[in-house]
Amino acid sequence: MAQILLFEARQDGLKRVPPIVYVRSVKFRRDFGEHTPKGRKVKEEAVNGRYDVVMQIFMNSSNHVVVTFKLIPELVEVGTQMRISRFVWELMQ
């Protein structure tokens, strides 16, 4: 299971900050392809040029937390999409 660790950049170096994010699965941009549901088509130019993208975090219909990236202002998903299995908010020293 993959982990995402977050850090705070400080003058004296990096400090790890909560949460630790455990990733259940990843869907890469190339996986969207022709099987993407209507309204979620990937715009190739979004990843080849300079465009504004936002990260969206939401709970899907299966009650899984999903992190995805969308192009602004169109709000089309441009990938990568991650399903999260859990968050750990307390860090061990």
d(CA 19, CA 16): 9
Q: What is the mean pLDDT of residues 62-87?
A: 83
Contact 53, 2 (CB under 8 A): no
Residues 4-46: pLDDT tens digits? 899 999 999 999 998 888 999 888 867 766 544 444 444 554 4
Decide if pLDDT at 76 tops 60: yes
Q: What's residue 32's pLDDT?
A: 62
Residue 47 scores a pLDDT above 70: no
